[in-house]
């Protein structure tokens, strides 16, 4: 997955009863493995390393 600042990341849940997560990429960090600073829909921010269940949302 390659996202840029402003992109929306969607993380599909690996657990059937858990909802997907969605967040906005605030910063791209390219120190070693590419990862991101993300503001999630619930308002908190975190450093995020993408996994196989992630995707960038289609832009309108």
pTM summary value: 0.82
Give me the pLDDT at residue 27, please.
96
Give me the pLDDT at residue 54, please.
87
Q: Please return the burial class of 38, using the count of CB atoms within 10 Å of its CB with bins 0-12, 13-18 and 19+.
A: buried
pLDDT digits (tens, 9 = 90+) for 12-53: 877 777 788 899 999 999 888 889 999 999 999 999 998 888
pLDDT band at 58 (very low <50, low <70, confident <90, very high): confident
């Amino acid at each position: 997955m390659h996202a840029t600042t402003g992109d929306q990341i969607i993380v599909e849940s690996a657990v059937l009863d858990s909802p997907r997560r969605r967040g906005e990429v605030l910063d791209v960090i390219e120190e070693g493995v590419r990862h991101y600073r993300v503001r999630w829909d619930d308002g908190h921010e975190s450093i995020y390393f993408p996994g196989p269940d992630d995707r960038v949302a289609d832009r309108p």
